[in-house]
Amino acid sequence: MPRPSAEKPKRPGDIRLERVKKEPLFSSGDGDPGLFELPVVEQPDIANTRGRRPDWLRVKLPYGPTYRNVARIIEDHNLHTVCQSARCPNMGECWSAGTATFMILGNVCTRSCGFCAVMTGRPPEGLDWDEPDRVARAARLMELNHAVVTSVNRDERKDGGAPIFAETIRKIREARKGCTVEVLIPDFRGDREALQMVIDARPDIMNHNVETVPRLYRRVRPQADYRQSLEVLRISKEAGLRTKSGIMVGLGETEAEVFDLMDDFVANGVDVMTIGQYLQPTRMHLPVEEFIHPDTFAQYKVVGEAKGIDHVESGPLVRSSYHAERHVASDPA
């Protein structure tokens, strides 16, 4: 009797999203019938990408007492970091320097982006109201001068977890006087009230990544909308906040598309832009279409700043929070 063939794993960007009528993600009475039911995607094995990565993408392994101290603080306070969940190539460098990006609202995301290593599924119900205090204590113990806070998407909630963002900003400032706070927020599914909660907490930097050029959204960010992301940035800028957004390259975009995206950033008041090489985190994720040469990253920085973006952080290993402390001042060193 022939053995049944194993189903080929789907990449997150390839998962077919089907509208469902039962068990909506919203548990409240105002459930949205247009919500998507998402499968649970556990973190699979690390991808074995074909070919050798260029030398400029080699990174040092985590090491040193400061790295171990940061790891201990994160573990002791039952916190998540995007450094770990997204398998950031700069984790060794940043942790050894005593910095980390806190990931709040759990470690299970309601979206299934084609590039992201964070687990997808149904998060536990409710919010963890002790989390802001734990993040603040960790920031104090790590003696941070600049704290970065991001999150998974919590689309099962109308507020998207915005109250926890706002409370975390306040708690960090109480626990660590003089510490600047950057938040990397989701789009809150376009909910203006949720966004306003975070704006009212007045973070020093409001970051929301568009991630890629509009043409690639259906494959890279199937549950997001490019124009909606620009709207988040525009509203935040009009509220007087310093704004920031970033993209990955190497997913099949053209240089002309990157330049057009820069024009959109200028039109919507983006102050800081980050550009880094996409690296496939697992076999289930989108493949790397191209390893972008460092000279092209240097060109992107020159062009972006010439177009009017205040500061462009561009390089193969740049991630949204890389050298984030440099992005607070209007004229970063």
Asked if pLDDT for residue 70 goes beyond 90, the answer is: no
- The encoded tokens of residue 63 equal 């090491």
Cα dihedral 312, 253, 110, 187 in deg (nearest 10): 50
Q: Which residues contact 185 (CB under 8 A, 6 or more apart)?
A: 150, 151, 162, 165, 195, 198, 206, 207, 208, 232
When pLDDT is cut at 50, 70 and 90, the band that residue 252 belongs to is very high
3-class DSSP state of 305: helix
In the prediction, which pLDDT does 257 show? Answer: 98
Task: Please tell me the total count of domains within the chain.
Answer: 1
Average pLDDT value for residue range 266-272? 98
Asked if pLDDT for residue 71 goes beyond 80, the answer is: no
> Residue 143 belongs to what domain range?
12-22+58-243
Asked if pLDDT for residue 35 goes beyond 70, the answer is: no
Cα dihedral 217, 204, 173, 177 in deg (nearest 10): 140
Average pLDDT value for residue range 106-123? 85
In the prediction, which pLDDT does 14 show? Answer: 41
- The encoded tokens of residue 182 equal 């950057």
If we measure between CA atoms, which residue out of 119, 121, 150, 123 comes closest to residue 281? 119
Task: Look at residue 271 and tell me if it is in a domain.
Answer: no
pLDDT in tens, 153-183: 999 999 999 999 999 999 999 999 999 999 9
In the prediction, which pLDDT does 202 show? Answer: 98
First vs last C-alpha separation in the chain: 68
Least confident of 7-11, 99-103, 116-120, 313-317: 7-11
In the prediction, which pLDDT does 119 show? Answer: 80
- The encoded tokens of residue 106 equal 């759990």
The set of long-range contacts for 292-298, using a CB threshold of 8 Å and a minimum separation of 24, is: 292/249, 292/250, 292/316, 294/56, 296/249, 296/255
- CATH number for 111: 3.20.20.70
Task: Cite the beta strand spans of the chain per DSSP E.
Answer: 18-19, 36-37, 80-81, 101-104, 108-109, 119-120, 146-151, 180-184, 205-207, 243-249, 272-277, 311-314
Highest mean pLDDT among 29-43, 274-288, 317-331: 274-288
Task: Look at residue 103 and tell me if it is in a domain.
Answer: yes
When pLDDT is cut at 50, 70 and 90, the band that residue 7 belongs to is very low
In the prediction, which pLDDT does 258 show? Answer: 98
In the prediction, which pLDDT does 25 show? Answer: 28
The set of long-range contacts for 292-300, using a CB threshold of 8 Å and a minimum separation of 24, is: 292/249, 292/250, 292/316, 294/56, 296/249, 296/255, 300/249, 300/258, 300/275
For the whole model, what pTM was predicted? 0.76
pLDDT in tens, 84-107: 544 555 555 555 555 668 889 988
Distance of alpha carbon 251 from alpha carbon 66, whole angstroms:
34
When pLDDT is cut at 50, 70 and 90, the band that residue 235 belongs to is very high
In the prediction, which pLDDT does 241 show? Answer: 98
In the prediction, which pLDDT does 244 show? Answer: 98
Asked if pLDDT for residue 6 goes beyond 60, the answer is: no
Distance of alpha carbon 210 from alpha carbon 197, whole angstroms:
21
Task: Look at residue 288 and tell me if it is in a domain.
Answer: no
Asked if pLDDT for residue 43 goes beyond 50, the answer is: no
Asked if pLDDT for residue 199 goes beyond 90, the answer is: yes
Residue 185 near residue 191, CB atoms below 8 Å: no
Task: Look at residue 329 and tell me if it is in a domain.
Answer: no
72 to each of 69, 141, 282, 288, 297, how far by Cα in Å?
A: 5, 11, 26, 33, 35
Task: Look at residue 76 and tell me if it is in a domain.
Answer: yes
